[in-house]
Amino acid sequence: MDEKSEILQKLTECVEKGKADINSPYPPELKGQKGASELTVDALENNISPGEILNDALMIAMNNIGEKFSEGKAFIPNLLIAAKAMNASMEHLKPFFESGEIKHKGTLIIGTVSGDLHDIGKNLVKMVMKGDGWNVVDLGVDVSPEKFTEAVVENPDCVVGLSALLTTTMLNMESTVNSIKEKSSATKIFIGGAPVSQQFCDKIGADGYYADPHSLVQHFH
């Protein structure tokens, strides 16, 4: 295996296993070894392009951990540490996104609907979509329909992700969908969260329901 492939393979492993940098104690078998941050610097110094780092390491790693999560072989903590490692790598790629050398796949506006303060699910989707090369605008929790609609007007070609964890607050998804569609009927809106289903999605006029972040990413592949 050449040096370039070896660096990308190691970076993929570090992100999937959640080793952000050399000081990360987890996983034990990689203790004291370089993590995602250092390997990204090595990759750039070895003339591996930012696009290759994103496509041939970060996206593969997040896809692998996402698949395991969907199959019940990985859990929320595994996703969270993988995302942390991915973010450590992304810090070094930020300038290339800003200069336009790497293009974002698109913009995702995401938030938890009004009345709901839960954010773990939303944050997981944000991390996984970022790892897939998306620009993610996170509006936070308890987001009003008006705030979602304003963000859509500011980002005309975006897609929207709505999250809710309670049966009471999921009802607020409907007013949010109506508000966005009134202003921009072509905008695609995807929903997720424990109480939500495809049936509910159809009822409120959203464009898709996904049970986990990996399934949403796959929709765009």
Chain segment 116-132, per-residue pLDDT in tens: 999 999 998 998 899 89
Distance CA 127, CA 62 (A): 9
Tally of structural domains, the chain:
2
Collect all residues with Cβ–Cβ distance below 8 Å to 177 and sequence separation of at least 6.
162, 189, 204, 205, 206
DSSP conformation class of 36: H
- Per-residue pLDDT at 192 exceeds 80: yes
Are 141 and 111 in contact, with CB atoms under 8 Å apart? yes
Q: Are residues 112 and 94 in the same domain?
A: no
- Per-residue pLDDT at 49 exceeds 90: yes
Would you place residue 70 in the very low, low, confident or very high pLDDT band (cuts 50, 70, 90)? confident
Provide φ and ψ at 107, rounded to 5°.
-115, 130
Which residue, of 78, 99, 120, is where some domain finishes?
A: 99
Pair type for strands 107-112 and 135-138: parallel
Mean pLDDT, rounded, for 92-99: 94
Which tokens in the block code for residue 142?
A: 């308890």
Distance CA 106, CA 29 (A): 36
Are 102 and 50 in contact, with CB atoms under 8 Å apart? yes
Q: Are residues 174 and 86 in the same domain?
A: no
Q: Are residues 93 and 166 in the same domain?
A: no
Would you place residue 187 in the very low, low, confident or very high pLDDT band (cuts 50, 70, 90)? very high
What global pTM score does this model have? 0.88
- Per-residue pLDDT at 1 exceeds 80: no
CATH, residue 170: 3.40.50.280
- Per-residue pLDDT at 100 exceeds 80: yes
Long-range contacts of 120-125 (CB under 8 A, 24+ apart): 120/76, 121/163, 121/165, 121/192, 121/193, 121/194, 122/161, 122/163, 124/76, 124/79, 124/80, 124/83, 124/213, 125/161, 125/163, 125/192, 125/213, 125/216
| Mean pLDDT value across the chain | 95
Would you place residue 161 in the very low, low, confident or very high pLDDT band (cuts 50, 70, 90)? very high
Please measure the distance between the N-terminal and C-terminal CA atoms of the chain and give it in whole angstroms.
28
Domain holding 198, by residue range, is 107-219
* Interval 71-94: pLDDT, tens: 999 999 999 999 999 999 999 999
Q: Are residues 88 and 126 in the same domain?
A: no
- Distances, alpha carbon 56 to alpha carbons 103, 170, 185, in Å: 15, 37, 35
Q: Are residues 11 and 95 in the same domain?
A: yes
Q: Are residues 83 and 128 in the same domain?
A: no
Distance CA 85, CA 105 (A): 21
Q: Determine the pLDDT at residue 140.
A: 98
Q: Are residues 138 and 203 in the same domain?
A: yes
Burial pattern 207-220, b for ≥16 Cβ within 10 A else e, equals: ebbbebbbebbeee
